[in-house]
Structure 1
Amino acid sequence: MKFLLLLALCALAYAAPRQKRLTVGTISVTGLGGSTGCVVTGDKLFINGIFSRQLKGDEKTEFDNYVTKLNDYKKAVNDFQEARKAAFQARRNGIEESTNMSKDLPKVPEKPSFCSAEETTQYVFDGCIIQGNKVYVGREFARDLSPSEIEQLKEFDVKQTAYQNVIQSQMQQEMKNMFGTDLFSNLFGSKNTQVTSTVAPTSVDSTAIPPKPDVPNFCTAVY
């Protein structure tokens, strides 16, 4: 029964992100990457592969400063990796590891203000996506949201975020109950938490799962 409930929760969690996707571009140290998040070419800003606008004067300066920090970051990461390899080889050869080497990865530079999470949020609906209060069908701009639709989207965002948080929380608790550790956090990078309570684990109450929020009707896919 627990296994079936866990599968049901996983299915709900998988379906939830289809309504809202927070796209945050990662920095590729190897030079391999994609078009998610922010991409700047020349003075043109693309967000999630869609042209957004030309960068303004102060934004160009901000971007140039970011590029300088990014290059320094890539070099620091490369130096860190080389130092790690040298330390590993030294241990294999019976040489004591240097105590001056940093134990932490270099810190990623802060993104430019025009690449914030709010700017790069993309809502994925059946038939269209919403980004920057604009409707796109595929990569083609269709129209701007009306003021009332913008309010609908904000309300949906709040409800959908709360819904997804509950689903994730219940999945984590169920995995702790079943396996004695938070496998979900281990898989997705959150801090691992061991179950130390002596109280017998309880099953997730499926009736406590809130209803999915109604999806705004910004576009209609014809089946």
Structure 2
Amino acid sequence: MYLIFLISCACIIFVQAHPVNKRDIFDSFPFGGNLGCVVTGNTLYINGLQDRQLTPSEINELQQYQSSLNSFQQQMQQFKQQMHQMRDNGQWNGGRMHARMGSMMQNGPNGPNGPQDNSNMPTPPTPPTRPSFCNDNVTTQYIFDGCKVQDNKVYIGNNYARDLTPAEQNQLQQFNNQMDA
């Protein structure tokens, strides 16, 4: 038993980890999958691992998110139609228009270098904020040699092994800060 504990600690502390990209996938998105957050019924799955039952307030938050997502998808369809009209009317300026579009989607209408003349450019809709129960802290997965850590829980394969100790949580946070730097 003590040997298993030491191996688990070694797997968490001493092996270099690789955080999985942060994802926010819900079953209402058209591409689905088992990465990020998936809600089926009232059960929350994170990166394919069953996590827990949603609380009544989280269910309400999810319903509000789904409503906002439906609205966003409709706005996105309108935005695409506007872009197609611009292309059909000869206003599409090849790669330059595409680059401006990407910059606006990533940095907002003023872009990273201040305001730009986007008078003829439609503004892309803003995607809804994902529910609080599916934040980066719970969806980030650290893959180690032989185990993975997600939401301060250790998994061997897809089987829950144990929770991280407070000291291990601090070590993981330090590691995460170093990876960000």
Q: Quickly say closer, same or farther: Cα 1:86–1:28, change in 2 above 3 A.
A: farther
Larger Rg: 1
Q: Match for residue 174 of structure 1?
A: none
Q: Match for residue 67 of structure 2?
A: 68
Q: Which TM-score applies when normalising by structure 1?
A: 0.55
Q: Match for residue 122 of structure 2?
A: 103
- Aligned sequence identity (%): 36
Q: Deviations over 1:132-184 (max 9, x none)?
A: 1111122221222223322222222223322xxxxxxxxxxxxxxxxxxxxxx
- Name whichever of 135-144 and 29-38 sits farther off: 29-38
Give yes or no for the alignment of 1:117 onto 2:116.
no
Q: Match for residue 23 of structure 1?
A: 22
The answer to whether the 8 A contact 2:35-2:46 is kept is yes
Flag structure 1 segments of 5+ consecutive residues without an equivalent. Answer: 1-16, 93-98, 163-223
Flag structure 2 segments of 5+ consecutive residues without an equivalent. Answer: 1-15, 92-117
The answer to whether the 8 A contact 1:123-1:129 is kept is yes
Q: By how many angstroms is 1:76 displaced?
A: 0.9
* Matching of residues 30-179 of structure 1 within 5 Å: 31-91=30-90, 103-162=122-181
Once residues 32 and 68 of structure 2 are traced to their aligned partners in structure 1, the CA distance between those partners, rounded to angstroms, is: 18
- Name whichever of 110-119 and 33-42 sits farther off: 33-42
User: Pairwise CA RMSD of aligned residues?
Assistant: 2.7
Once residues 91 and 30 of structure 1 are traced to their aligned partners in structure 2, the CA distance between those partners, rounded to angstroms, is: 32
Q: By how many angstroms is 1:63 displaced?
A: 0.7
The runs of at least 4 aligned residues of structure 1 exceeding 6 Å deviation read: 27-30
Q: Quickly say closer, same or farther: Cα 1:130–1:30, change in 2 above 3 A.
A: closer
The answer to whether the 8 A contact 2:26-2:36 is kept is no
Once residues 156 and 133 of structure 2 are traced to their aligned partners in structure 1, the CA distance between those partners, rounded to angstroms, is: 23
Q: By how many angstroms is 1:84 displaced?
A: 1.6
Q: Quickly say closer, same or farther: Cα 1:161–1:100, change in 2 above 3 A.
A: closer
Which structure has the higher relative contact order (CA within 8 Å, separation 6+)? 2
Q: Quickly say closer, same or farther: Cα 1:88–1:44, change in 2 above 3 A.
A: same
Give the secondary-structure state (helix, strand or coil) at the position aligned to 1:142.
strand
Aligned residues: 140
Q: By how many angstroms is 1:102 displaced?
A: 5.8
Once residues 130 and 152 of structure 1 are traced to their aligned partners in structure 2, the CA distance between those partners, rounded to angstroms, is: 12
Q: Quickly say closer, same or farther: Cα 1:28–1:84, change in 2 above 3 A.
A: farther
